[in-house]
Every structure is written in structure tokens, then in C-alpha cells.
A and B are shown apart, each in its own frame.
Chain A
């Protein structure tokens, strides 16, 4: 019987199996941000074990609340900053160079096919877009990762998701993953890896694949994984060109992480997306999803475009193409948060930022900000936000607030009309 991508990565990284079924893996990357890492740092200091297993394999960023908004968040930032300096962690991203972790770290070329990565952040599953095994963990797992370079997992089963057909105009990776979550339910993939296959994912850019994998956790999944291919090689080429003779050689090397054709899956699910409509959430769980037509006309107060789900360049381009056609409705406010400084700079060059501002959007620095109601765009009681983020839990963006998740295109169309709107009406 063949192996899935996750099976291959587990086999190649197995450090220990202390008990049957418990796999302790060597880690290629331990990723850190200022919300979940400081408690690990403080605990290591308290234990007299303020060490790191390998400073080059640790990457750190201040992203959730930045620049710091008050004394508490300033202390969190300072703890991470001081720790990075103390241990000579070179890849530390402070104010001015920082962006949303799951957009920034891939953009820097830190994630490669076959890698293992953990982070104290549930959306770490995003990095599986590169054919890696990347999982969100708590602070204790992070702490052990920092100190020892290992993490324990139960060997996950893998669910094969075949995405067939081709995406219609105005329908994007976000719509695919929202629809999939509605099919699986919020715990339909618990302890499972979602492995994406088929022509739809093959045709997707890395930006779109990251959107797809980002929300695996919303179905309970440990990681979303795409098969590394020529698209992966092209994206990583600036960072790997010294390691390979040519792209062909890189592709051959990466291909060893592709799932075997006779791999064992817990389940296979085939979705033909050819007739898929733009999707929007209702209610307070990410599996509460309807086609946009059934949600059209729902009034909103705020539009939020950004986050680790949909704050990348391609997302901004898709939104801008619609925003060009008008101005934000008088009754609503729009917030754009490009996910990284590089995305921000490129969007400036392409005139995308200008388009957003002409349309009446506020443009913030790269940050997680409003997504979890920590800064920059918190809702008041009873307010409604059309958001490109990944979680619509009750109160997430502010107590008493309601969040409707959707694609950047749907969010842009909604901004112009002031109510949930089908983006295809602008094409």
C-alpha cells in the first residue's frame, strides 16, 4: 500500500515513537508570534531552560497587534523581540518589516515541500499548500518545539479531496473551501489531513492554494496539503535557485513528497466546482454556508479585506477589479489590510492601493487586526462585517458583532452596494 504526502513526511521525520501511534517528529520550522510565544518564553526562563534548539529553524513575527496598542501588547512584543535578539534568531520581523505570519513566512521562502512546521496558531495548516506538514499547536507544544525541535502527533489519517471541473468566473478558492467545510462540518476532518487533488487545485496559484489550506482547521483538519508541482517550484525559485541546477531538478526532488497513486485514504470526496456559486457564511460557525444569492441583500456595516486567508496580492487584485467600478456605499466603511509589506508595496506599484482608496477604503498596515477583534476594526454590538477572514464565531470581531465570511471579490461587491452582493454582477 502506498503513502499519502503526510505519511511520507511523518516517516522521514520520525524521531521517536514512545508509544504505539504516538509519533514524535523532528521539526524543520518552529514559527512564532507575539500572542502565544511570550508565555512559552516566560515558562522556559522560569524553568531555567531559556534556550533554543536551532536559531535558524525558528522564525518569529509580531503580527496580531502591531504597532502595539497598549502596555500589555507592547510587553508581548518586547518579550518576543528581546528573546529573538538574545538567541540570535535572525529571521525576526519587527514593526515595518512585519506581516501576517501565514502570508509572510511562505513569502520569505521558509516553507518547502516535505517540511514539518508548527506554530502556536491554528491557521498554521496554511503552509501545507507547499506540500508540507504544518500544524497549529498550543503554547506547550511550541515551548517544547523551541527547546527540543520536536512535536508529538497521533499519525493523522488523510482524506483525499478531488476538485474536478473548472472554477467559473467570479468563483475562487475561498468559495471552494467554504463549500467544502459546509459539506464536512466543523468537525468532519478532526485529526485528519485534507489532501487536495485534481485539475482545479493544479490550476491554482500558490496564493489560492494557501487560501484553500488555510481553512482546513475550520473543518477540524490538522493540515491541508497540496501536491508540490511546477507552480510550487516557480514560487520558491528565488529562494532555491542555488540549491538546484534548474527548475526541472527541483521539481524532481519535490515530487518525492507527492502521494503515491495507491495511497490509503480514510475517505475520498469529489467535488465538481464547475457550477459552484460564490459562497457566504451565515450564523456563528464556518460550516453555516449558503450560495451568495440566498444571502444577497443582507446589510452590512463594515467590509474587511485582508488576513492570512485572503490578504495576498491575488486577493487584492480580485477585489480591486470590482472596486474600480464604483465607490463604497455611503452607509458602510471598508478596511484593507494587505497581509505583508511586500504585498503592500506591490499593490502600490500596481495601483491597487489607489483603487481601494479612491473607492473609499481605509488602508491599514499589515496585521491580523480585526479578524479576531484585537485591534484595527473591532465591531460594535449589533454590527455586521463582510470579511475575507476565516472565522465567524460569535463575538470574534467584537462582542455582539456578526461576521459573514466570503471571497475578496464578494466582499468588494458588497462594499459597493452596502449589502451582500454577488460579485458576478460586476463582471
Chain B
């Protein structure tokens, strides 16, 4: 596995506790190929005004959301459905443990920012579409809307999480070490 690309157009999901069944319903867990999950990202998401078929869902490369994202099941199909749709970066106030670990285990980013920073990102997105560029080595991200308004934020990445992203995932990391 090689390093993923991080950043791009943002999809804002303004709700706490978005669960794994909403991200990828259990009926698709009978697939043994990640690619087969691709049409079903966020298919059962309960969110006012959200349609999984909207063009901006397909265009998204980053998701910005609220608290306890990815709660519920351990299914790695949740990070996989993001992966095969090119969404390699999630930015949230907090995560369920297993989902968060699954993201890093696949060499992807599950960044945590305090509520006020997440609020600022949502504010930026109220004006127009937002793109986020992520600089992993420097632990910073730049969010920019179409009016040219810009927000630069730092984030924390633990040494372990950073190593997983650099290695391309936990299998690569563990295989080299154990």
C-alpha cells in the first residue's frame, strides 16, 4: 500500500453520532471486494437535506463532521467505503475508538479538532464550497472557500498514528516490526 493523498473538496455532515450502519448498511457486508462498496457510501445517513446521490458527495475528498463519528459496528467496510470513494481524510470533534483506529490502520487520517475549530470550518462552508489541503508532515491544514476566505489550523497526530499513515497502514507497520 502506498501513501494516500489527503485533501480536496469538503463534505460537511452537521450531526453527532453518525454511525457505521449509516456509513455503510449491514446488507452490503456480504461483499468481499472493497470496490463493490463504492456506490453505497452514506446511503442510510439520516441528515436533513442530505442526499447520498448529490454530486458533491461523489466529489468529496474530505469529510468534516461533529462528535463520536463512526460509532457502532467494528466493520472496516466504513473506512473502506470512504477509501474507494477517494475520501481519505475525516475531520471531526471525536470518534468512536474502533472506527478511528480502522482509519489509521488503513493509512488514512481521522483528525480530531476542538469544537470551536470545527465550528469555524462549518462557518467557512456556509458561504460556499470549501477545499482543504492537508500537510501531514507539518501537522497543518488550510481550508479555503470560493470567496477566498481562508483558515489555517494545526492538528495533533500521535507518533503512532503518524507512523501508520507514513507506513501506509498497520499491516505494513506490524510486518516490519514483529
Contact = CB atoms under 8 A, between A and B. Distances in A.
A182 to B, nearest CB: 14
B96 A220 contact: yes
A22 interface: yes
B73 A122 contact: yes
Given A138-B74, A139-B76, A187-B96, A394 B21 contact: yes
Contacts of A137: 74, 98, 101
Given A15-B178, A394-B46, A187 B94 contact: yes
A148 B158 contact: no
B174 interface: yes
A19 B74 contact: no
B32 A394 contact: no
Given A140-B171, A150-B178, A122 B98 contact: yes
Contacts of B175: 49, 144, 147-148
Interface string B159-174: 1100100000111001
A66 B157 CA distance: 42
Greatest chain A CB density within 10 A among B26, B27, B94, B106 is at B26
A150 B30 contact: no
A321 interface: no
A393 B169 CA distance: 30
A137 B79 CA distance: 13
Interface string B46-78: 100000000000000000000110011111100
Interface size class, chain B? 35 or more
A141 to B, nearest CB: 6
B170 A141 contact: yes
Contacts of A271: none
A374 B29 contact: yes
Contacts, number: 143
Contact of B32 (A19, A76, A396): A76
Contacts of A72: 30-32
A121 B97 CA distance: 13
A137 B106 CA distance: 13
B97 A284 contact: no
11 contacts: A18-B163, A22-B159, A72-B31, A120-B74, A138-B101, A140-B76, A144-B171, A147-B175, A186-B71, A285-B17, A373-B26
Interface of A: 15-16, 18-22, 24, 35-36, 38-39, 42-43, 47, 49, 64-65, 70, 72-73, 75-76, 79, 120-122, 124, 136-141, 143-144, 147-148, 150, 152, 186-187, 190-191, 220, 222, 284-285, 372-374, 391, 393-396, 399
Interface of B: 17, 19, 21-22, 25-27, 29-32, 34, 44, 46, 67-68, 71-76, 79, 94-98, 101-102, 105-106, 158-160, 163, 169-171, 174-175, 177-178
